Amino acid sequence: MIKFFRRIRQRLVSQNRFSKYMLYAIGEIALVMIGILLALQVSNWNEEQKNYKKEKAILNSLKSELKTNLDELKIDHKGQLFFYQATMDVYQYIQNKPTLVDSMYLDFYIMIRFNYFFPKTSIYETLKSGNLETIKSDSIRESITDIYESHYQRIISKVDTRRNAARVLFPYYQKHFRTKHVVKNDTIKFGQKLGIPNNYEFLINDPEFETLIAEAIDGRNHFVYHYLEAINEVENSIKLIDAYLIKNEND
């Protein structure tokens, strides 16, 4: 091909056909430029494909980690609702002062129960160290960062505060209750723990106990709310990732 163009140039020069030679030279330059642009376009396309494969793998890994955390959030949220209701029941016992019955013992024990959230963060931590910009979608990147740096941390940080109902109530519980383990099916594994008041009449008339229960209710209410917030944001982030991947696969 190069020899072919060279022969054309030589013939035009030898025939002193300068104007046609110039047109030919311009055409040859244009062809070279088009070839270079096509090569660059192919190179850019290959690089984009390579980057997208890396981004896709990262997003799929993140989605898997988010789903794992979402399952735990939902389980813990149900537990927090259960504990919240039991604590509310105890508050009603204080207010209404009903006769003590066996069914109340479960509430007395559950009021000191608490779930601890341990999210998986290895994929996010790896990205945060320098690869977060691999995710091209601003909305996904912002959502992911908000989940790990805000929603998860908001739940975790409250464990050591007055929002932790177990920390608020357990010292009082140790003084005024005893725990009974009810064995079911002849094995402790399937047993149930009950909180037995040492002096029920004293408890339901003790201002300190009422104050602690009210504080515990407030703390549990915050936990329930923040768990629900985190669940909604994680579900939204997973939807964003799915929509983004589908769009790029179809483009």
Distances (CA, A) of 179 to 138, 148, 185, 196: 52, 37, 19, 6
Note the pLDDT of residue 158: 81
3-state helix, strand, coil in the chain (%, to 5): 75, 10, 15
Least confident of 15-19, 109-113, 117-121: 15-19
pLDDT of 9 > 60? The answer is no
Q: What are the extents of the domains in the chain?
A: 66-250
Note the pLDDT tens digit of each residue in 52-100.
Answer: 788 888 899 999 999 999 999 999 999 999 999 999 999 999 999 999 9
Contact between 8 and 24 (Cβ < 8 Å): yes
Note the pLDDT of residue 100: 96
List the one residue out of 165, 166, 145 whose CA is nearest residue 234.
145
pLDDT of 190 > 80? The answer is no
pLDDT bracket for residue 114 (50, 70, 90): confident
Percent of the chain scored above 90 by pLDDT?
A: 55
Note the pLDDT tens digit of each residue in 140-157.
Answer: 999 999 999 999 999 998
Q: What is the residue type of 128?
A: K
